[in-house]
Amino acid sequence: MGEQPAAQSLRAVDLLISGGYLATQDDQRRVIYPGSVAVAGSKIVAVGPSSAVDLGCAPRQRLDAHEHVVLPGLVNIHGHASNSLIRGLGGDRSLHDWLHQVCWPCMAQAGDEDLYQGVLLSALEMLLNGVTAFADMWPGVPLSASAVAATGQRAVLAHNIKDFGDARRGEAELQAALDAWRQCDGHADGRVVVGLGPHSVYTCRPELLAACAAEAARHNLHLQIHGSETRQEVEECRAQHGCSPIELMAACGLLGARTIVAHAVHVNQTDLTLLLGSRTNVSHNIASNLKLASGIAPVDRYLQLGLCVGLGTDGPGSNDSLNLLADLKLATLLQKAISQDATCLPAQTALDMVTRHGAQALGLAEHLGSLEPGKQADLILIDLDQPHFTPRHFDRPDNILSHLVTCATGADVDTVVVAGRVLVRHGQPVHLDCADIQARAQASSRRLLQAAGLLG
């Protein structure tokens, strides 16, 4: 009908990202070039060759993706965002000494404003490094939710529950965690999910762990817990409870497809069988494990057995940066080195860890982790026009994967889109004031150190 049928059949979309190398991370792991992604509202509505997608769209906003890789947004599945306030203060200490001498005394001084500024700083840093969704464990969930609302990201937040052997404290913390869930779950247009975060088997009595598991089952909540991080933790658990931390978690009902066990460095065959049988997710936090000399989890083996392993930065107090792509390179190279097998943890599997597996671990695989119509428009553009990405032979898909895993860092992230909204463009936040966030976090950190008596 009419004189311009082609124009009349154009689909109105809000955003068209056009001409890039699409690493879709879909079931076939297709790489499309030149490719385009069309977005309407918060969702992807078309993915394919630019020649097909562009002709059918009338976009409100267009981003040129030539000389860029377009990837699903990165997912960081373990961290403590407010701990950015103690960045650089944990050096050369064991986990136990760092927790008791620096982390807990310092963070105990943090007021609401401090916690908010700490989370905001970390969220900004993650955003600039291409992290569009993250898991976080710490008290002050409403503050974290507000910070996530401000940055535009997604997060699965959990109040970090500990009782240190005190039943009344445990009960109060569990109630605080449930209050935070009632108050904040679904916050920021659904971008905030709230679950439960019992800290570990060494800070929670089994009764509290079981109570957390029961509440999570009752309300279908996501769970995060540290487990088998150090040899000392495993030995003490065996001495106190007669079983490993993973066995204790299983006995308390904590394992399952909606649970992330962070670390899992020191696990035996029994532990592995329990994790596999329950489809529990594992967060590999390689930089933190190295810095605190905890050990190196054999994650290539976990992945080959079928465990869902994602990557976590852990808190910025023990990493000390939130550069997930830098950690990914570290993770892959170390698996090759400890196994003395260069085929270990190949690039495609590594990329899966920070996209598809991360989304699955957060319980959001239906919405995140790949570039496909119907999924949320969470994606990043990586700028290839740089010496360290040259030469490129991207007609070979292995070359694009290798460049992403072993050449790229967070500094190469040019553009970040979450739920269809452009949050970072040309390496700069669109809506946030970096200088102001940094200044406020600096002031909060000074206050904490002074109050904890760590300024000498």
237 vs 262, beta carbon nearer Zn ion: 262
User: What are the angstrom distances between the C-alpha of 15 and each of 1, 52, 417, 421?
Assistant: 27, 16, 10, 9
Q: How far is the CB of 313 from Zn ion (least distance, A)?
A: 9
Segment near Zn ion (CB under 5 A); pick from 202-210, 267-275, 312-320, 429-437: 312-320
Shortest distance, CB of residue 456 to Zn ion, whole angstroms?
A: 28
Measured over the CA atoms of residue 396, residue 368, residue 410 and residue 88, the dihedral's sign is negative
For Zn ion, give the closer residue by CB, 314 or 412.
314
- In the complex with Zn ion, which residue's Cβ is closer, 15 or 212? 212
Return the residue matching tokens 């204790």: 248
CB 316, min distance to Zn ion, A: 11
Task: Report yes or no: 162 and 204 within 8 Å, Cβ to Cβ.
Answer: yes
Where does this chain touch Zn ion (CB under 5 A) — which range of 144-152, 165-173, 309-317, 327-335? Answer: 309-317
Give every strand in the sheet of 192-198, ordered side by side. Answer: 74-76, 131-137, 154-161, 192-198, 223-227, 259-263, 281-284, 308-311
Tokens of 425: 């463009």
Which residue stretch of 159-167, 276-284, 310-318, 340-348 sits at the interface with Zn ion (rule: CB under 5 A)? 310-318
Taking residues 240 to 269 in sequence order and writing x for each that binds Zn ion by CB under 5 A, - otherwise, the string is ------------------------------
Binder to Zn ion among 125, 173, 271, 314 (CB under 5 A)? 314
Measuring CA to CA, which residue among 77, 44, 28 is closest to residue 378?
Answer: 44
Shortest distance (Å) from residue 296 CB to Zn ion: 16
DSSP state of 340: T
- The dihedrals phi and psi of 291, each to the nearest 5 degrees, come to -65, -40
Considering CB under 5 A, how many residues would be counted as binding Zn ion? Answer: 1
Q: Is 320 in the site for Zn ion (CB under 5 A)?
A: no
Residue nearest to Zn ion (CB): 314
The H-or-E segment that residue 438 falls in is helix 434-451
Q: Is the peptide bond before 34 cis (omega within 30 degrees of 0)?
A: yes
CB of 167 to Zn ion, least distance (A): 24
Report the distance separating Cα 205 and Cα 41, nearest Å. Answer: 46
User: Please, which residue, 71 or 81, has the CB nearer to Zn ion?
Assistant: 81
When the beta carbons of 54 and 314 are compared against Zn ion, the nearer one is 314
Residues 6+ apart with CB under 8 A from 11: 38, 40, 45, 46, 56, 57, 58
Please choose, out of 180-188, 200-208, 314-322, 324-332, the segment that lies near Zn ion by the rule CB under 5 A.
Answer: 314-322
Q: Which residues pair with residue 203 across a beta bridge?
A: none
By C-beta, is 300 or 314 nearer to Zn ion? 314
Chain positions contacting Zn ion, by CB under 5 A: 314
